[in-house]
Amino acid sequence: MHPADINAALKKAGTSQAHIARRLGVTHTAVCHVVNGRPNNRSRRIAKAISRATAIPMSTLWPNSYVQKAKKARSE
Protein backbone atom coordinates (compact mmCIF):
# COMPACT_ATOMS: atom_id res chain seq x y z
CA MET A 1 0.00 0.00 0.00
CA HIS A 2 1.04 3.55 -0.51
CA PRO A 3 2.15 5.34 2.70
CA ALA A 4 -0.73 7.82 2.33
CA ASP A 5 -3.18 4.90 2.33
CA ILE A 6 -1.58 3.47 5.48
CA ASN A 7 -1.82 6.85 7.19
CA ALA A 8 -5.47 7.13 6.11
CA ALA A 9 -6.15 3.65 7.55
CA LEU A 10 -4.50 4.69 10.82
CA LYS A 11 -6.62 7.83 10.95
CA LYS A 12 -9.78 5.84 10.17
CA ALA A 13 -8.87 3.52 13.04
CA GLY A 14 -8.59 6.53 15.36
CA THR A 15 -4.83 6.43 15.80
CA SER A 16 -1.66 7.86 14.26
CA GLN A 17 2.01 7.18 13.69
CA ALA A 18 2.79 9.28 16.77
CA HIS A 19 0.40 7.25 18.95
CA ILE A 20 1.90 3.96 17.72
CA ALA A 21 5.39 5.32 18.47
CA ARG A 22 4.44 6.39 22.02
CA ARG A 23 2.73 3.07 22.72
CA LEU A 24 5.77 1.07 21.57
CA GLY A 25 8.35 3.41 23.09
CA VAL A 26 10.03 4.15 19.78
CA THR A 27 10.58 7.34 17.84
CA HIS A 28 8.03 8.72 15.42
CA THR A 29 10.79 8.55 12.81
CA ALA A 30 11.09 4.78 13.29
CA VAL A 31 7.36 4.35 12.67
CA CYS A 32 7.53 6.70 9.68
CA HIS A 33 10.33 4.62 8.13
CA VAL A 34 8.26 1.44 8.46
CA VAL A 35 5.17 3.13 6.97
CA ASN A 36 7.27 4.36 4.05
CA GLY A 37 8.74 0.88 3.54
CA ARG A 38 12.37 1.88 3.91
CA PRO A 39 14.30 -1.35 3.24
CA ASN A 40 16.87 -0.86 6.01
CA ASN A 41 14.26 0.06 8.60
CA ARG A 42 11.86 -2.87 8.70
CA SER A 43 10.74 -3.46 12.23
CA ARG A 44 8.36 -6.40 12.45
CA ARG A 45 7.20 -5.16 15.87
CA ILE A 46 6.19 -1.76 14.50
CA ALA A 47 4.68 -3.29 11.36
CA LYS A 48 2.65 -5.69 13.50
CA ALA A 49 1.38 -2.82 15.67
CA ILE A 50 0.28 -0.89 12.57
CA SER A 51 -1.35 -4.00 11.18
CA ARG A 52 -3.27 -4.62 14.40
CA ALA A 53 -4.33 -0.98 14.72
CA THR A 54 -5.68 -0.88 11.17
CA ALA A 55 -6.92 -4.50 11.04
CA ILE A 56 -5.08 -4.87 7.72
CA PRO A 57 -2.66 -7.79 7.27
CA MET A 58 1.03 -6.91 7.01
CA SER A 59 1.12 -8.71 3.66
CA THR A 60 -1.47 -6.24 2.36
CA LEU A 61 0.17 -3.16 3.87
CA TRP A 62 3.63 -4.12 2.56
CA PRO A 63 3.18 -6.82 -0.10
CA ASN A 64 6.85 -6.81 -1.12
CA SER A 65 8.13 -7.12 2.45
CA TYR A 66 5.86 -9.52 4.29
CA VAL A 67 4.41 -12.71 2.88
CA GLN A 68 1.20 -14.03 4.38
CA LYS A 69 1.63 -17.52 5.78
CA ALA A 70 -0.70 -20.07 4.25
CA LYS A 71 -3.19 -21.50 6.72
CA LYS A 72 -2.88 -25.21 7.22
CA ALA A 73 -5.98 -27.22 6.42
CA ARG A 74 -7.44 -28.91 9.45
CA SER A 75 -8.03 -32.58 8.97
CA GLU A 76 -11.01 -33.89 10.85
The 3-class SS string of the chain reads CCHHHHHHHHHHCCCCHHHHHHHHCCCHHHHHHHHCCCCCCCCHHHHHHHHHHHCCCHHHHCCCCCCCCCCCCCCC
Let me know if residue 16 belongs to a domain. yes
pLDDT at 27 over 90: yes
pLDDT exceeds 70 at position 5: yes
Query: How much is the pLDDT for 64?
Result: 80
Crossing angle for the helix pair 3-12 and 28-35, to the nearest 10 degrees: 120
- Mean residue pLDDT across the chain: 87
Task: Flag whether 31 is in a domain.
Answer: yes
Mean pLDDT computed over 10-32 = 96
What residues make up the domain containing 12?
A: 3-56
> How many domains are there within the chain?
1
Per residue in 38-63, pLDDT (tens digit) is 766 678 899 999 999 999 999 999 88
For residue 20, being part of any structural domain is answered with yes
| pTM for this predicted structure | 0.81
Is 69 part of a structural domain of the chain?
Answer: no
